[in-house]
């Protein structure tokens, strides 16, 4: 039995982690939780206790929870701006940590967290969980096996109007439209993690972007009509390069909280002799949906190209990519698999995002990346 603590009992904790943890009943106990808003922690403790059949104690503060006996690790589900401080406390307490994205606000902070985890001899894994999802594990196997030949291009999008219009969103959407978060740090991280998980560390990034809609009017029922000032870029068009002995590869990400919707696939990878495409509509969040695979026909006869449905035979116990993260964390803690969602990879994704912002400020000039 792996014993976890949960920091932050907000939207993602209730809507996504809780149903995902159901798949771990009998293997996991959430034996402690905390939130600065006490009733949220109390409600989470009640629901997770009932779900897993194991009692969950509520602690008034993170410092108190970190003294709880017998914890193997902590899920850090606090808002993005607090990740550095809170993950530092968790690691300093000698506990393993799975942090929601981003790993931290700056590269210096992210690297300090990696050093701290090493010094304390504990593990730090980080969302997004893209590469731990059944779909991207399968995709990596196909790419590595040469199914579509050498990959040359990945195109991706995460484009909508942002959380002010997500009717189901229960948190405060305002922070997402500031420089502290923005569309790339919030949702662009998913494809950036996938691109660099499949192709390895990127060599350079360039971008253009800006604030194209300076105000959002919320349509979340509880916040209907609230006006939100947009103070950070709400549109980013990002280009990535990869160098390598076998030839170059390129990436393109359309990342926006100012686009009503797009029918573009959420992620496409193209190789010398085939393409794989993941549709956004109705939702890329459902891992049970197959991807579209196209292989060129090299023979003289038959159709030049054919799209077929493809994907893993077994998607495992969770159906939502975000839920693959805590599942992977638990499997690593239990010694059932090797870490995939490394802090070094999350730090490289942060390096790309900060590099893209720098490039956009400089009118699109490329920024060289260190990689991981």
**Candidate ranges 65-73, 147-155, 170-178, 301-309; the one touching ligand NAD (CB under 6 A):** 170-178
Query: Across the beta sheet with 2-7, what order do the strands follow?
Result: 57-58, 28-34, 2-7, 73-76, 96-99, 124-126
SS3 of residue 347 by DSSP: helix
How far is 240 from 154, CA to CA, in rounded Å?
9
How far is 125 from 164, CA to CA, in rounded Å?
29
How far is 338 from 221, CA to CA, in rounded Å?
43
How far is 269 from 255, CA to CA, in rounded Å?
17
Binding to ligand NAD by residue 78, rule CB under 6 A? yes
Least distance CB 220 / ligand NAD (angstroms)? 12
How far is 34 from 79, CA to CA, in rounded Å?
13
Q: Given the structure tokens 């978060």, which residue do they identify?
A: 181
**Candidate ranges 33-41, 53-61, 206-214, 226-234; the one touching ligand NAD (CB under 6 A):** 33-41
Binding to ligand NAD by residue 339, rule CB under 6 A? no
Give the footprint of ligand NAD on residues 192-211 (CB under 6 A).
none
Structure tokens at 362: 């400089």
Least distance CB 236 / ligand NAD (angstroms)? 17
* Contact criterion met (CB below 8 Å) for 148 and 270: yes
Compute CA distances 192 → 154, 254, 357, 359, whole Å.
10, 11, 14, 16
Single residue of 2, 7, 113, 333 touching ligand NAD by CB under 6 A: 7
Binding to ligand NAD by residue 82, rule CB under 6 A? yes
Size of the site for ligand NAD (CB under 6 A): 24
Binding to ligand NAD by residue 266, rule CB under 6 A? no
Binding to ligand NAD by residue 8, rule CB under 6 A? yes
Asked whether the bond before 195 is cis by omega within 30 degrees of 0, the reply is no
Least distance CB 59 / ligand NAD (angstroms)? 12
Binding to ligand NAD by residue 253, rule CB under 6 A? no
Binding to ligand NAD by residue 79, rule CB under 6 A? yes
What does residue 166 show for φ and ψ, rounded to 5 degrees?
-85, 100
* Complex with ligand NAD: residue 142 or 351, whichever CB lies closer: 351
* Complex with ligand NAD: residue 12 or 95, whichever CB lies closer: 12
Binding to ligand NAD by residue 11, rule CB under 6 A? yes
Least distance CB 186 / ligand NAD (angstroms)? 6
* Complex with ligand NAD: residue 91 or 249, whichever CB lies closer: 91
* Contact criterion met (CB below 8 Å) for 281 and 264: no
Least distance CB 340 / ligand NAD (angstroms)? 17
SS3 of residue 307 by DSSP: strand
User: Nearest residue by C-beta to ligand NAD?
Assistant: 10
What does R_g of the chain's alpha carbons equal in angstroms? Answer: 21
**Candidate ranges 12-20, 154-162, 238-246, 267-275; the one touching ligand NAD (CB under 6 A):** 12-20
**Candidate ranges 9-17, 117-125, 147-155, 249-257; the one touching ligand NAD (CB under 6 A):** 9-17
Q: Given the structure tokens 């985890």, which residue do they identify?
A: 117
Binding site for ligand NAD (CB under 6 A): 7-13, 16, 35-37, 40, 77-80, 82, 86, 100-101, 170-172, 322
């Amino acid at each position: 039995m792996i014993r976890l603590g949960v920091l932050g009992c907000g939207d993602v904790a209730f809507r996504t982690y809780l149903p995902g943890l159901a798949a771990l009943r009998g293997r996991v106990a959430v034996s402690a939780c905390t939130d600065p808003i006490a009733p949220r922690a109390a409600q989470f403790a009640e629901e997770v206790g009932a779900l897993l059949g194991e009692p969950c104690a509520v602690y008034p503060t993170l410092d108190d929870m970190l003294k709880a006996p017998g914890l193997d690790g902590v899920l850090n589900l606090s808002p993005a701006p607090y990740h550095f401080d809170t993950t530092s406390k968790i690691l300093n307490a000698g506990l393993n940590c799975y942090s929601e994205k981003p790993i931290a606000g700056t590269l210096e902070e992210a690297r300090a967290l990696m050093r701290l985890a090493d010094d304390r001899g504990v593990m730090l894994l980080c969302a997004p969980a893209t590469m731990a999802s059944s779909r991207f594990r399968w995709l990596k196997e196909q790419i590595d096996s040469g199914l579509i030949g050498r990959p040359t291009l990945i195109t991706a999008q995460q484009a909508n109007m942002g959380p002010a219009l997500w009717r189901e969103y229960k948190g405060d959407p305002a922070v997402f439209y500031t420089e502290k978060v923005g569309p790339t740090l919030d949702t662009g991280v998913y494809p950036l993690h996938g691109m660099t998980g499949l192709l390895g560390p990127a060599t350079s990034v360039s971008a253009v972007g800006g604030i194209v809609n300076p105000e959002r009017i919320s349509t979340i029922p509880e916040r209907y009509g609230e006006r939100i000032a947009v103070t950070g870029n709400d549109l980013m068009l990002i280009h990535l390069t990869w160098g390598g002995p076998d030839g170059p590869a390129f990436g393109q990400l359309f990342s926006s909280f100012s686009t009503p919707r797009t029918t573009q696939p959420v992620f496409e990878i193209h190789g010398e002799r085939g393409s794989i495409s993941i549709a956004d509509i109705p939702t890329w969040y459902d891992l049970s949906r197959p991807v579209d695979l196209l292989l060129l026909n090299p023979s003289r006869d038959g159709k030049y190209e054919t799209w077929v449905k493809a994907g893993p035979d077994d998607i495992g116990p969770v159906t939502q990519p975000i839920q693959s993260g805590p599942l992977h964390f638990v499997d690593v803690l239990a010694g059932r698999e090797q870490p995939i969602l490394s802090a070094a990879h999350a730090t490289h994704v942060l390096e790309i995002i900060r590099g893209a912002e720098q490039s956009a400020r400089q009118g699109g000039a490329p920024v060289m990346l260190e990689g991981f």
